[in-house]
Structure 1
Amino acid sequence: MNKLTTEERARILHLLCEGQSIRAITRLTEVSKNTVTKLLIDAGKACMAYHDANVRNVKSNGIQVDEIWSFTYAKQENVATAKAAPDGAGDTWTWTAIEADTKLIVSYFVGGRDGECAIWFMDDLRSRLANRVQLTADGHKAYLEAVEGAFGGDIDYPMLIKIYGASPESAKGRYSPAECTGAHKERIEGSPDLANVSTSYAERQNLAMRMHMRRFIRLTRAFSKKVENHAYAVALHMTYYNFVRIHLKLRMTPAMAAGVSDRLWEIGDIVAIVEAAEAKPAKRGSYKKLAEEISN
Protein backbone atom coordinates (compact mmCIF):
# COMPACT_ATOMS: atom_id res chain seq x y z
CA MET A 1 0.00 0.00 0.00
CA ASN A 2 1.33 3.45 -0.92
CA LYS A 3 2.09 5.71 2.01
CA LEU A 4 1.86 9.49 1.93
CA THR A 5 5.13 11.35 2.20
CA THR A 6 5.72 13.85 4.98
CA GLU A 7 5.28 16.69 2.48
CA GLU A 8 1.97 15.28 1.23
CA ARG A 9 0.71 14.89 4.78
CA ALA A 10 1.72 18.45 5.60
CA ARG A 11 -0.11 19.81 2.56
CA ILE A 12 -3.33 17.90 3.36
CA LEU A 13 -3.29 18.94 7.02
CA HIS A 14 -2.63 22.55 6.04
CA LEU A 15 -5.63 22.51 3.71
CA LEU A 16 -7.79 21.02 6.48
CA CYS A 17 -6.63 23.70 8.91
CA GLU A 18 -7.38 26.47 6.41
CA GLY A 19 -11.02 25.52 5.94
CA GLN A 20 -11.07 23.19 2.94
CA SER A 21 -13.58 20.36 2.90
CA ILE A 22 -12.42 16.76 2.57
CA ARG A 23 -13.86 16.43 -0.94
CA ALA A 24 -12.15 19.66 -2.03
CA ILE A 25 -8.85 18.32 -0.72
CA THR A 26 -9.27 15.10 -2.69
CA ARG A 27 -9.68 17.17 -5.85
CA LEU A 28 -6.69 19.41 -5.08
CA THR A 29 -4.29 16.65 -4.05
CA GLU A 30 -5.63 13.67 -6.03
CA VAL A 31 -5.66 11.63 -2.84
CA SER A 32 -8.62 9.43 -1.98
CA LYS A 33 -11.30 10.58 0.46
CA ASN A 34 -10.58 7.63 2.76
CA THR A 35 -6.89 8.54 2.90
CA VAL A 36 -7.66 12.15 3.82
CA THR A 37 -10.15 11.01 6.47
CA LYS A 38 -7.68 8.55 7.97
CA LEU A 39 -5.02 11.25 8.16
CA LEU A 40 -7.51 13.57 9.87
CA ILE A 41 -8.29 10.86 12.44
CA ASP A 42 -4.60 10.11 13.07
CA ALA A 43 -3.77 13.80 13.37
CA GLY A 44 -6.73 14.44 15.66
CA LYS A 45 -5.70 11.64 18.01
CA ALA A 46 -2.10 12.85 18.11
CA CYS A 47 -3.15 16.46 18.70
CA MET A 48 -5.50 15.44 21.52
CA ALA A 49 -2.69 13.59 23.24
CA TYR A 50 -0.20 16.44 22.73
CA HIS A 51 -2.60 19.07 24.08
CA ASP A 52 -3.46 16.93 27.07
CA ALA A 53 0.18 16.40 27.97
CA ASN A 54 1.63 19.86 27.24
CA VAL A 55 -1.00 22.53 27.85
CA ARG A 56 -0.61 22.41 31.63
CA ASN A 57 0.21 24.81 34.48
CA VAL A 58 -1.02 27.77 32.46
CA LYS A 59 -0.73 31.09 34.29
CA SER A 60 -3.63 33.38 33.60
CA ASN A 61 -5.33 36.55 34.76
CA GLY A 62 -8.57 35.92 32.94
CA ILE A 63 -10.37 33.06 31.20
CA GLN A 64 -13.38 33.39 28.91
CA VAL A 65 -15.55 30.37 28.14
CA ASP A 66 -18.22 29.82 25.53
CA GLU A 67 -19.94 27.09 23.48
CA ILE A 68 -20.32 26.94 19.71
CA TRP A 69 -23.04 24.96 17.94
CA SER A 70 -22.73 22.59 15.02
CA PHE A 71 -24.42 19.33 14.10
CA THR A 72 -23.43 15.79 13.21
CA TYR A 73 -25.09 13.74 10.43
CA ALA A 74 -28.38 15.68 10.66
CA LYS A 75 -29.85 18.59 12.53
CA GLN A 76 -31.48 17.64 15.79
CA GLU A 77 -35.06 18.04 14.53
CA ASN A 78 -34.32 15.68 11.61
CA VAL A 79 -32.55 12.90 13.51
CA ALA A 80 -35.76 10.97 14.26
CA THR A 81 -36.56 10.59 10.55
CA ALA A 82 -32.96 10.27 9.28
CA LYS A 83 -31.90 6.94 7.79
CA ALA A 84 -29.31 4.99 9.81
CA ALA A 85 -28.45 7.92 12.07
CA PRO A 86 -25.35 6.98 14.13
CA ASP A 87 -24.87 7.53 17.84
CA GLY A 88 -24.14 11.17 18.52
CA ALA A 89 -26.19 12.46 15.58
CA GLY A 90 -27.83 15.86 16.04
CA ASP A 91 -26.65 18.94 17.90
CA THR A 92 -22.94 18.94 18.68
CA TRP A 93 -21.45 21.61 20.92
CA THR A 94 -17.80 22.57 21.27
CA TRP A 95 -16.87 24.18 24.60
CA THR A 96 -13.79 26.42 24.60
CA ALA A 97 -11.80 28.27 27.26
CA ILE A 98 -9.52 31.04 25.99
CA GLU A 99 -6.91 32.96 27.98
CA ALA A 100 -7.70 36.65 27.60
CA ASP A 101 -4.13 37.99 27.39
CA THR A 102 -2.32 35.33 25.35
CA LYS A 103 -5.38 34.06 23.39
CA LEU A 104 -4.34 30.48 24.21
CA ILE A 105 -7.08 27.85 24.01
CA VAL A 106 -6.48 26.27 27.41
CA SER A 107 -9.24 23.68 27.25
CA TYR A 108 -11.87 22.42 24.81
CA PHE A 109 -14.54 19.74 24.89
CA VAL A 110 -16.90 18.27 22.27
CA GLY A 111 -20.27 16.95 23.41
CA GLY A 112 -23.72 18.13 24.36
CA ARG A 113 -24.70 21.35 26.10
CA ASP A 114 -25.95 19.79 29.33
CA GLY A 115 -24.73 19.91 32.90
CA GLU A 116 -22.67 16.72 32.66
CA CYS A 117 -20.65 18.07 29.73
CA ALA A 118 -20.17 21.35 31.58
CA ILE A 119 -18.72 19.42 34.53
CA TRP A 120 -16.30 17.51 32.28
CA PHE A 121 -15.23 20.77 30.65
CA MET A 122 -14.69 22.70 33.88
CA ASP A 123 -12.84 19.85 35.58
CA ASP A 124 -10.46 19.70 32.63
CA LEU A 125 -9.99 23.48 32.64
CA ARG A 126 -9.22 23.52 36.37
CA SER A 127 -6.56 20.82 35.94
CA ARG A 128 -4.67 23.00 33.42
CA LEU A 129 -4.48 26.25 35.38
CA ALA A 130 -1.61 27.22 37.67
CA ASN A 131 -3.29 30.00 39.66
CA ARG A 132 -6.57 31.57 40.70
CA VAL A 133 -8.29 33.24 37.76
CA GLN A 134 -11.23 35.39 36.86
CA LEU A 135 -13.53 33.25 34.73
CA THR A 136 -16.23 34.89 32.63
CA ALA A 137 -19.11 32.86 31.22
CA ASP A 138 -22.40 33.69 29.59
CA GLY A 139 -25.74 33.04 31.27
CA HIS A 140 -25.83 29.31 30.52
CA LYS A 141 -27.06 27.76 33.78
CA ALA A 142 -24.98 24.59 33.38
CA TYR A 143 -21.88 26.62 34.32
CA LEU A 144 -23.14 27.35 37.83
CA GLU A 145 -22.82 23.84 39.24
CA ALA A 146 -19.83 22.96 37.05
CA VAL A 147 -17.73 25.94 38.17
CA GLU A 148 -18.65 25.37 41.82
CA GLY A 149 -17.70 21.70 41.58
CA ALA A 150 -14.38 22.31 39.84
CA PHE A 151 -13.13 25.45 41.61
CA GLY A 152 -15.13 25.74 44.82
CA GLY A 153 -14.49 29.20 46.22
CA ASP A 154 -11.04 29.51 44.65
CA ILE A 155 -12.17 31.62 41.71
CA ASP A 156 -13.49 35.04 40.74
CA TYR A 157 -16.53 34.18 38.68
CA PRO A 158 -18.85 36.70 37.01
CA MET A 159 -21.52 36.04 34.39
CA LEU A 160 -22.21 38.22 31.37
CA ILE A 161 -25.91 37.71 30.72
CA LYS A 162 -26.97 38.82 27.25
CA ILE A 163 -30.49 39.60 26.12
CA TYR A 164 -31.39 38.60 22.57
CA GLY A 165 -34.19 39.62 20.24
CA ALA A 166 -35.24 38.52 16.78
CA SER A 167 -33.10 39.70 13.89
CA PRO A 168 -34.79 41.97 11.32
CA GLU A 169 -33.47 39.63 8.62
CA SER A 170 -35.36 36.70 10.16
CA ALA A 171 -38.67 38.40 9.37
CA LYS A 172 -37.67 38.36 5.70
CA GLY A 173 -37.26 34.61 5.74
CA ARG A 174 -33.45 34.75 5.76
CA TYR A 175 -31.19 33.01 8.24
CA SER A 176 -29.58 35.38 10.71
CA PRO A 177 -28.46 34.88 14.31
CA ALA A 178 -30.46 36.55 17.06
CA GLU A 179 -29.60 40.19 17.72
CA CYS A 180 -28.12 41.13 21.11
CA THR A 181 -30.27 43.91 22.52
CA GLY A 182 -28.60 44.29 25.91
CA ALA A 183 -26.40 42.71 28.60
CA HIS A 184 -25.74 42.92 32.30
CA LYS A 185 -22.92 41.67 34.54
CA GLU A 186 -23.55 39.55 37.60
CA ARG A 187 -21.09 38.46 40.31
CA ILE A 188 -21.42 34.76 41.11
CA GLU A 189 -18.30 33.92 43.18
CA GLY A 190 -15.28 35.71 44.58
CA SER A 191 -14.37 39.32 43.84
CA PRO A 192 -14.31 39.72 40.05
CA ASP A 193 -13.29 42.96 38.37
CA LEU A 194 -16.54 43.85 36.63
CA ALA A 195 -14.72 46.26 34.31
CA ASN A 196 -13.03 43.25 32.68
CA VAL A 197 -16.13 41.08 32.35
CA SER A 198 -16.35 40.10 28.68
CA THR A 199 -16.72 37.10 26.39
CA SER A 200 -15.52 38.94 23.28
CA TYR A 201 -12.35 36.90 22.84
CA ALA A 202 -14.25 33.62 23.19
CA GLU A 203 -16.80 34.77 20.62
CA ARG A 204 -14.04 35.88 18.24
CA GLN A 205 -12.52 32.43 18.59
CA ASN A 206 -15.89 30.97 17.60
CA LEU A 207 -15.59 32.91 14.35
CA ALA A 208 -12.07 31.56 13.80
CA MET A 209 -13.40 28.03 14.22
CA ARG A 210 -16.16 28.59 11.67
CA MET A 211 -13.67 30.08 9.21
CA HIS A 212 -11.00 27.39 9.64
CA MET A 213 -13.19 24.28 9.82
CA ARG A 214 -15.52 23.70 6.91
CA ARG A 215 -17.80 21.49 9.00
CA PHE A 216 -18.68 24.46 11.24
CA ILE A 217 -19.84 26.75 8.43
CA ARG A 218 -23.59 27.26 8.46
CA LEU A 219 -25.65 26.11 5.46
CA THR A 220 -22.94 23.77 4.18
CA ARG A 221 -22.83 20.20 2.91
CA ALA A 222 -19.44 19.61 4.53
CA PHE A 223 -20.91 18.92 7.99
CA SER A 224 -19.57 16.09 10.15
CA LYS A 225 -21.01 12.63 9.59
CA LYS A 226 -19.48 11.10 12.73
CA VAL A 227 -19.08 12.81 16.09
CA GLU A 228 -15.67 11.18 16.60
CA ASN A 229 -14.31 12.71 13.39
CA HIS A 230 -15.81 16.05 14.42
CA ALA A 231 -13.83 15.88 17.66
CA TYR A 232 -10.64 14.98 15.81
CA ALA A 233 -11.10 17.95 13.47
CA VAL A 234 -11.51 20.22 16.50
CA ALA A 235 -8.34 18.80 18.09
CA LEU A 236 -6.35 19.43 14.91
CA HIS A 237 -7.65 23.01 14.70
CA MET A 238 -6.78 23.76 18.33
CA THR A 239 -3.19 22.61 17.88
CA TYR A 240 -2.88 24.59 14.65
CA TYR A 241 -4.38 27.69 16.30
CA ASN A 242 -2.26 27.44 19.48
CA PHE A 243 1.10 26.46 17.99
CA VAL A 244 1.24 27.23 14.24
CA ARG A 245 -0.93 30.22 13.34
CA ILE A 246 0.62 33.59 14.23
CA HIS A 247 -1.83 35.82 16.07
CA LEU A 248 -1.98 39.17 14.26
CA LYS A 249 -2.07 41.28 17.42
CA LEU A 250 0.46 39.28 19.44
CA ARG A 251 2.86 38.78 16.48
CA MET A 252 3.49 35.27 17.78
CA THR A 253 1.47 32.14 18.42
CA PRO A 254 -0.72 31.91 21.55
CA ALA A 255 1.42 29.02 22.79
CA MET A 256 4.56 31.18 22.62
CA ALA A 257 2.79 34.07 24.36
CA ALA A 258 1.66 31.75 27.16
CA GLY A 259 5.08 30.12 27.57
CA VAL A 260 3.79 26.72 26.48
CA SER A 261 6.12 26.70 23.45
CA ASP A 262 9.50 28.36 22.97
CA ARG A 263 9.39 28.47 19.18
CA LEU A 264 7.12 28.97 16.18
CA TRP A 265 5.75 25.71 14.85
CA GLU A 266 5.29 24.80 11.21
CA ILE A 267 2.64 22.44 9.86
CA GLY A 268 5.43 19.86 9.59
CA ASP A 269 5.64 19.80 13.39
CA ILE A 270 2.06 18.52 13.54
CA VAL A 271 3.03 15.84 11.02
CA ALA A 272 5.95 14.97 13.29
CA ILE A 273 3.72 14.30 16.31
CA VAL A 274 1.44 12.19 14.08
CA GLU A 275 4.40 10.11 12.93
CA ALA A 276 5.69 9.85 16.50
CA ALA A 277 2.29 8.51 17.58
CA GLU A 278 2.39 5.95 14.76
CA ALA A 279 5.79 4.78 15.95
CA LYS A 280 4.39 4.21 19.43
CA PRO A 281 1.00 2.49 19.07
CA ALA A 282 -1.60 3.19 21.74
CA LYS A 283 -2.83 0.44 24.02
CA ARG A 284 -5.54 -1.67 22.45
CA GLY A 285 -8.99 -0.21 22.96
CA SER A 286 -7.83 3.21 24.17
CA TYR A 287 -9.05 5.11 21.09
CA LYS A 288 -12.29 3.12 21.11
CA LYS A 289 -12.83 4.15 24.72
CA LEU A 290 -12.12 7.80 23.79
CA ALA A 291 -14.66 7.65 20.97
CA GLU A 292 -17.27 6.18 23.31
CA GLU A 293 -16.67 8.99 25.83
CA ILE A 294 -17.07 11.61 23.08
CA SER A 295 -20.30 9.99 21.87
CA ASN A 296 -21.75 9.94 25.36
Structure 2
Amino acid sequence: MRKLDTKTRALIIRLLVEGNSIRATSRIADVSKNTVNKLLNDAGAACAKYHDEHVRNVKASVIQCDEIWSFTYAKQKNVATAKAAPEHAGDTWTWTAIDSDSKLIVSYMVGGRDSEYAIEFMDDLRARLANRVQLTTDGHKAYLEAVEGAFGGDVDYAQLIKMYGGETGSKGHEKKYSPAECTGIKKRTVEGRPDKALVSTSHVERQNLTMRMHMRRFTRLTNAFSKKVENHMHAVALHFMYYNFVKVHQTLKVTPAMEAGLTDRLWDISDLVAIVDANEPAPKKRGPYKPRKKAISK
Protein backbone atom coordinates (compact mmCIF):
# COMPACT_ATOMS: atom_id res chain seq x y z
CA MET A 1 0.00 0.00 0.00
CA ARG A 2 1.32 3.47 -0.91
CA LYS A 3 2.43 5.47 2.10
CA LEU A 4 1.83 9.20 2.36
CA ASP A 5 4.91 11.39 2.30
CA THR A 6 6.06 13.08 5.49
CA LYS A 7 4.89 16.53 4.40
CA THR A 8 1.31 15.36 3.81
CA ARG A 9 1.14 13.43 7.08
CA ALA A 10 2.49 16.45 8.95
CA LEU A 11 -0.19 18.61 7.33
CA ILE A 12 -2.95 16.18 8.35
CA ILE A 13 -1.73 16.05 11.94
CA ARG A 14 -1.44 19.84 12.13
CA LEU A 15 -4.99 20.25 10.82
CA LEU A 16 -6.32 17.78 13.38
CA VAL A 17 -4.57 19.34 16.39
CA GLU A 18 -5.74 22.81 15.34
CA GLY A 19 -9.40 21.90 15.65
CA ASN A 20 -10.36 20.77 12.16
CA SER A 21 -12.85 17.96 11.67
CA ILE A 22 -12.09 14.74 9.83
CA ARG A 23 -14.02 15.93 6.78
CA ALA A 24 -12.39 19.38 6.74
CA THR A 25 -8.95 17.79 7.08
CA SER A 26 -9.78 15.42 4.25
CA ARG A 27 -10.76 18.30 1.96
CA ILE A 28 -7.81 20.54 2.78
CA ALA A 29 -5.17 17.80 2.56
CA ASP A 30 -6.88 16.27 -0.51
CA VAL A 31 -6.95 12.76 0.92
CA SER A 32 -9.79 10.38 1.80
CA LYS A 33 -11.53 10.33 5.18
CA ASN A 34 -10.30 6.79 5.71
CA THR A 35 -6.72 8.00 5.27
CA VAL A 36 -7.22 10.73 7.88
CA ASN A 37 -8.82 8.27 10.31
CA LYS A 38 -6.04 5.74 9.80
CA LEU A 39 -3.35 8.34 10.51
CA LEU A 40 -5.27 9.64 13.54
CA ASN A 41 -5.46 6.14 14.99
CA ASP A 42 -1.77 5.46 14.32
CA ALA A 43 -0.71 8.83 15.72
CA GLY A 44 -2.94 8.47 18.79
CA ALA A 45 -1.56 5.04 19.62
CA ALA A 46 2.03 6.24 19.15
CA CYS A 47 1.49 9.38 21.25
CA ALA A 48 -0.21 7.46 24.06
CA LYS A 49 2.72 5.04 24.18
CA TYR A 50 5.27 7.88 24.20
CA HIS A 51 3.44 9.73 26.97
CA ASP A 52 3.20 6.57 29.06
CA GLU A 53 6.92 5.86 28.73
CA HIS A 54 8.42 9.37 28.95
CA VAL A 55 6.14 11.54 31.12
CA ARG A 56 7.56 10.06 34.30
CA ASN A 57 9.39 11.27 37.39
CA VAL A 58 7.74 14.70 37.03
CA LYS A 59 8.82 17.21 39.67
CA ALA A 60 5.80 19.33 40.51
CA SER A 61 4.49 21.24 43.49
CA VAL A 62 0.81 21.95 42.70
CA ILE A 63 -1.45 19.62 40.71
CA GLN A 64 -5.01 20.42 39.62
CA CYS A 65 -7.45 17.75 38.40
CA ASP A 66 -10.76 17.89 36.59
CA GLU A 67 -13.05 15.94 34.27
CA ILE A 68 -14.49 17.21 30.99
CA TRP A 69 -17.64 15.79 29.39
CA SER A 70 -18.23 14.69 25.83
CA PHE A 71 -20.16 11.84 24.26
CA THR A 72 -19.58 8.95 21.89
CA TYR A 73 -22.00 7.95 19.10
CA ALA A 74 -25.05 9.40 20.88
CA LYS A 75 -25.88 11.31 24.04
CA GLN A 76 -26.56 9.06 27.01
CA LYS A 77 -30.31 9.68 26.99
CA ASN A 78 -30.51 8.54 23.33
CA VAL A 79 -28.33 5.42 23.52
CA ALA A 80 -31.21 3.08 24.35
CA THR A 81 -33.05 3.97 21.13
CA ALA A 82 -29.96 4.49 18.93
CA LYS A 83 -29.49 2.15 16.01
CA ALA A 84 -26.53 -0.24 16.35
CA ALA A 85 -24.94 1.70 19.20
CA PRO A 86 -21.41 0.38 19.88
CA GLU A 87 -20.02 -0.51 23.28
CA HIS A 88 -19.21 2.52 25.45
CA ALA A 89 -21.65 4.73 23.57
CA GLY A 90 -22.99 7.70 25.54
CA ASP A 91 -21.25 9.88 28.11
CA THR A 92 -17.48 9.98 27.71
CA TRP A 93 -15.36 11.73 30.31
CA THR A 94 -11.75 12.83 29.98
CA TRP A 95 -9.85 13.09 33.28
CA THR A 96 -6.89 15.49 33.32
CA ALA A 97 -4.16 16.41 35.82
CA ILE A 98 -2.11 19.54 35.15
CA ASP A 99 1.01 20.88 36.82
CA SER A 100 0.12 24.48 37.71
CA ASP A 101 3.70 25.72 37.30
CA SER A 102 4.81 24.12 34.04
CA LYS A 103 1.25 23.67 32.67
CA LEU A 104 2.24 20.10 31.78
CA ILE A 105 -0.55 17.55 31.46
CA VAL A 106 0.94 14.91 33.74
CA SER A 107 -1.85 12.34 33.42
CA TYR A 108 -5.07 11.88 31.46
CA MET A 109 -7.63 9.15 30.99
CA VAL A 110 -10.78 8.60 28.91
CA GLY A 111 -13.70 6.67 30.34
CA GLY A 112 -16.61 6.94 32.75
CA ARG A 113 -16.93 9.18 35.81
CA ASP A 114 -17.37 6.58 38.53
CA SER A 115 -15.04 5.56 41.35
CA GLU A 116 -13.38 2.80 39.33
CA TYR A 117 -12.07 5.30 36.79
CA ALA A 118 -11.15 7.78 39.53
CA ILE A 119 -9.01 5.14 41.25
CA GLU A 120 -7.25 4.19 38.02
CA PHE A 121 -6.65 7.85 37.18
CA MET A 122 -5.18 8.71 40.58
CA ASP A 123 -2.98 5.60 40.58
CA ASP A 124 -1.58 6.65 37.22
CA LEU A 125 -1.01 10.24 38.38
CA ARG A 126 0.83 9.12 41.52
CA ALA A 127 3.09 6.83 39.50
CA ARG A 128 4.24 9.76 37.34
CA LEU A 129 5.17 12.16 40.15
CA ALA A 130 8.62 12.37 41.70
CA ASN A 131 7.70 14.12 44.94
CA ARG A 132 4.92 15.09 47.34
CA VAL A 133 2.48 17.60 45.84
CA GLN A 134 -0.46 19.78 46.75
CA LEU A 135 -3.52 18.42 44.96
CA THR A 136 -6.79 20.16 44.19
CA THR A 137 -9.90 18.59 42.67
CA ASP A 138 -13.53 19.57 42.42
CA GLY A 139 -16.10 18.18 44.84
CA HIS A 140 -16.66 14.90 42.95
CA LYS A 141 -16.98 12.24 45.70
CA ALA A 142 -15.14 9.59 43.69
CA TYR A 143 -11.89 11.49 44.26
CA LEU A 144 -11.93 10.91 48.03
CA GLU A 145 -11.36 7.16 47.95
CA ALA A 146 -9.14 7.40 44.87
CA VAL A 147 -6.73 9.95 46.36
CA GLU A 148 -6.54 8.07 49.65
CA GLY A 149 -5.79 4.81 47.89
CA ALA A 150 -3.15 6.28 45.57
CA PHE A 151 -1.33 8.72 47.88
CA GLY A 152 -2.21 7.60 51.38
CA GLY A 153 -1.06 10.40 53.68
CA ASP A 154 1.70 11.53 51.31
CA VAL A 155 -0.24 14.43 49.78
CA ASP A 156 -1.67 17.83 50.69
CA TYR A 157 -5.16 17.49 49.28
CA ALA A 158 -8.07 19.92 49.14
CA GLN A 159 -11.33 20.11 47.23
CA LEU A 160 -12.68 23.27 45.64
CA ILE A 161 -16.47 23.07 45.74
CA LYS A 162 -18.38 25.54 43.61
CA MET A 163 -21.95 26.54 44.40
CA TYR A 164 -24.26 27.53 41.57
CA GLY A 165 -27.51 29.47 41.41
CA GLY A 166 -30.57 28.02 39.74
CA GLU A 167 -30.85 30.69 37.05
CA THR A 168 -28.27 31.72 34.47
CA GLY A 169 -29.10 35.40 34.66
CA SER A 170 -30.03 35.46 30.98
CA LYS A 171 -33.45 35.80 29.48
CA GLY A 172 -34.89 34.40 26.28
CA HIS A 173 -33.39 31.75 24.00
CA GLU A 174 -29.80 32.49 25.03
CA LYS A 175 -30.54 31.15 28.53
CA LYS A 176 -30.11 27.51 27.52
CA TYR A 177 -26.62 28.23 26.12
CA SER A 178 -25.34 29.91 29.30
CA PRO A 179 -23.93 28.05 32.32
CA ALA A 180 -25.49 28.49 35.72
CA GLU A 181 -24.08 31.39 37.70
CA CYS A 182 -21.41 30.51 40.28
CA THR A 183 -22.59 32.05 43.54
CA GLY A 184 -19.64 31.02 45.70
CA ILE A 185 -16.84 28.56 46.42
CA LYS A 186 -15.81 26.45 49.38
CA LYS A 187 -12.27 25.19 50.00
CA ARG A 188 -12.25 21.99 52.00
CA THR A 189 -9.07 20.41 53.36
CA VAL A 190 -9.14 16.62 52.98
CA GLU A 191 -5.58 15.44 53.65
CA GLY A 192 -2.34 17.01 54.86
CA ARG A 193 -1.82 20.76 55.11
CA PRO A 194 -2.64 22.35 51.72
CA ASP A 195 -1.97 26.06 51.28
CA LYS A 196 -5.44 27.60 50.94
CA ALA A 197 -4.07 30.31 48.65
CA LEU A 198 -3.09 27.60 46.15
CA VAL A 199 -6.38 25.69 46.26
CA SER A 200 -7.71 26.35 42.78
CA THR A 201 -8.87 24.62 39.60
CA SER A 202 -8.43 27.64 37.32
CA HIS A 203 -5.54 26.20 35.32
CA VAL A 204 -7.14 22.83 34.66
CA GLU A 205 -10.44 24.49 33.74
CA ARG A 206 -8.60 26.72 31.29
CA GLN A 207 -7.11 23.55 29.84
CA ASN A 208 -10.67 22.31 29.29
CA LEU A 209 -11.23 25.30 27.03
CA THR A 210 -8.04 24.50 25.14
CA MET A 211 -9.32 20.98 24.57
CA ARG A 212 -12.64 22.22 23.22
CA MET A 213 -10.86 24.67 20.91
CA HIS A 214 -8.28 22.21 19.57
CA MET A 215 -10.39 19.05 19.28
CA ARG A 216 -13.44 19.35 17.06
CA ARG A 217 -15.20 16.41 18.70
CA PHE A 218 -15.28 18.33 22.00
CA THR A 219 -17.02 21.40 20.56
CA ARG A 220 -20.47 21.88 22.07
CA LEU A 221 -23.70 22.33 20.10
CA THR A 222 -22.34 20.90 16.85
CA ASN A 223 -22.62 17.62 14.95
CA ALA A 224 -18.94 16.89 15.66
CA PHE A 225 -18.56 13.92 17.98
CA SER A 226 -16.72 10.61 18.17
CA LYS A 227 -18.40 7.61 16.61
CA LYS A 228 -16.24 5.16 18.56
CA VAL A 229 -14.54 5.59 21.93
CA GLU A 230 -11.26 4.35 20.43
CA ASN A 231 -11.24 7.29 18.02
CA HIS A 232 -11.94 9.61 20.94
CA MET A 233 -8.99 8.21 22.89
CA HIS A 234 -6.65 8.57 19.93
CA ALA A 235 -7.69 12.20 19.39
CA VAL A 236 -7.08 12.97 23.08
CA ALA A 237 -3.65 11.30 23.05
CA LEU A 238 -2.60 13.24 19.94
CA HIS A 239 -3.84 16.51 21.43
CA PHE A 240 -1.93 16.15 24.68
CA MET A 241 1.25 15.15 22.88
CA TYR A 242 0.95 18.28 20.76
CA TYR A 243 0.05 20.43 23.76
CA ASN A 244 2.89 19.15 25.97
CA PHE A 245 5.72 19.01 23.44
CA VAL A 246 4.90 21.17 20.39
CA LYS A 247 2.61 24.08 21.30
CA VAL A 248 4.44 27.02 22.88
CA HIS A 249 2.58 28.22 25.96
CA GLN A 250 1.64 31.88 25.62
CA THR A 251 2.73 32.77 29.16
CA LEU A 252 5.76 30.51 29.55
CA LYS A 253 7.15 31.19 26.03
CA VAL A 254 8.24 27.54 25.91
CA THR A 255 6.35 24.27 25.75
CA PRO A 256 5.12 22.66 28.99
CA ALA A 257 7.48 19.74 28.43
CA MET A 258 10.45 22.11 28.23
CA GLU A 259 9.33 23.94 31.37
CA ALA A 260 8.97 20.62 33.20
CA GLY A 261 12.43 19.46 32.11
CA LEU A 262 11.20 16.55 29.99
CA THR A 263 12.94 17.89 26.85
CA ASP A 264 15.54 20.52 26.10
CA ARG A 265 14.24 21.63 22.71
CA LEU A 266 11.16 22.83 20.91
CA TRP A 267 9.44 20.06 19.03
CA ASP A 268 7.78 20.31 15.62
CA ILE A 269 4.94 18.44 13.92
CA SER A 270 7.57 16.45 12.05
CA ASP A 271 8.67 15.03 15.42
CA LEU A 272 5.17 13.66 15.93
CA VAL A 273 5.35 12.05 12.48
CA ALA A 274 8.68 10.51 13.48
CA ILE A 275 7.06 9.02 16.60
CA VAL A 276 4.32 7.49 14.44
CA ASP A 277 6.95 5.99 12.12
CA ALA A 278 8.94 4.60 15.06
CA ASN A 279 5.81 2.94 16.45
CA GLU A 280 4.97 1.12 13.24
CA PRO A 281 5.72 -2.61 13.28
CA ALA A 282 8.75 -3.76 11.31
CA PRO A 283 7.88 -5.15 7.89
CA LYS A 284 7.65 -8.90 7.77
CA LYS A 285 10.44 -10.75 6.03
CA ARG A 286 9.42 -12.25 2.76
CA GLY A 287 10.29 -15.81 1.94
CA PRO A 288 12.34 -16.85 -1.09
CA TYR A 289 10.77 -16.24 -4.47
CA LYS A 290 9.01 -19.29 -5.86
CA PRO A 291 8.14 -19.05 -9.54
CA ARG A 292 4.65 -20.17 -10.39
CA LYS A 293 4.38 -23.34 -12.43
CA LYS A 294 3.18 -22.66 -15.91
CA ALA A 295 -0.09 -24.33 -16.68
CA ILE A 296 0.07 -26.93 -19.44
CA SER A 297 -2.73 -26.55 -21.92
CA LYS A 298 -4.20 -29.70 -23.36
1:164, CA displacement in angstroms? 1.4
1:70 aligned partner: 70
1:294 aligned partner: none
Q: Aligned AA for 2:205? A: E
Q: Alignment partner of 2:177: what SS?
A: coil
Q: Is the 1:170–1:176 Cα contact (8 Å) retained in structure 2?
A: no
Does the alignment pair 1:248 with 2:250? yes
Does the alignment pair 1:220 with 2:222? yes
1:88 aligned partner: 88
Q: Is the 1:242–1:253 Cα contact (8 Å) retained in structure 2?
A: yes
Aligned length: 281
2:3 aligned partner: 3
1:177, CA displacement in angstroms? 2.1
1:262, CA displacement in angstroms? 1.0
CA offsets 1:201-235 (integer angstroms, 9 cap, x no match): 00000000000000000011120000011000000
1:288 aligned partner: none
Distance 2:171 2:102 in 1: 36
Matches within 5 A, 1:63-212: 63-165=63-165, 166-169=167-170, 172=173, 174-212=176-214
Distance 1:250 1:111 in 2: 31
TM-score normalised according to structure 1 size: 0.93
2:50 aligned partner: 50
Q: Alignment partner of 1:136: what SS?
A: strand
Distance 1:170 1:112 in 2: 34
Choose from 223, 230, 234 the match for 2:236. Answer: 234
1:257 aligned partner: 259
Q: Aligned AA for 2:274? A: A
Q: Alignment partner of 1:219: what SS?
A: coil
Distance 2:172 2:238 in 1: 38
Q: Aligned AA for 1:269? A: D
1:179, CA displacement in angstroms? 2.0
Distance 1:122 1:169 in 2: 38
Q: Is the 1:169–1:175 Cα contact (8 Å) retained in structure 2?
A: no
TM-score normalised according to structure 2 size: 0.92
Structure 1 portions without partners, runs of 5+: 282-296
1:286 aligned partner: none
Q: Aligned AA for 1:189? A: E
Q: Alignment partner of 2:184: what SS?
A: strand
Does the alignment pair 1:270 with 2:272? yes
CA offsets 1:25-58 (integer angstroms, 9 cap, x no match): 1111110000100000000000000000000000
1:180, CA displacement in angstroms? 1.3
2:41 aligned partner: 41
Q: Alignment partner of 1:224: what SS?
A: coil
Distance 1:230 1:161 in 2: 29
Distance 1:178 1:91 in 2: 21
CA offsets 1:177-215 (integer angstroms, 9 cap, x no match): 222111010100001000111000000000000000000
Q: Alignment partner of 2:132: what SS?
A: coil
Structure 2 portions without partners, runs of 5+: 284-298
Q: Aligned AA for 2:139? A: G
Q: Aligned AA for 1:87? A: E
Q: Aligned AA for 2:170? A: E
CA RMSD of aligned residues (A): 1.1
Q: Alignment partner of 2:280: what SS?
A: helix
Distance 2:171 2:184 in 1: 19
Distance 1:196 1:70 in 2: 28
Distance 2:126 2:172 in 1: 43
1:279, CA displacement in angstroms? 4.2
Larger radius of gyration: 2
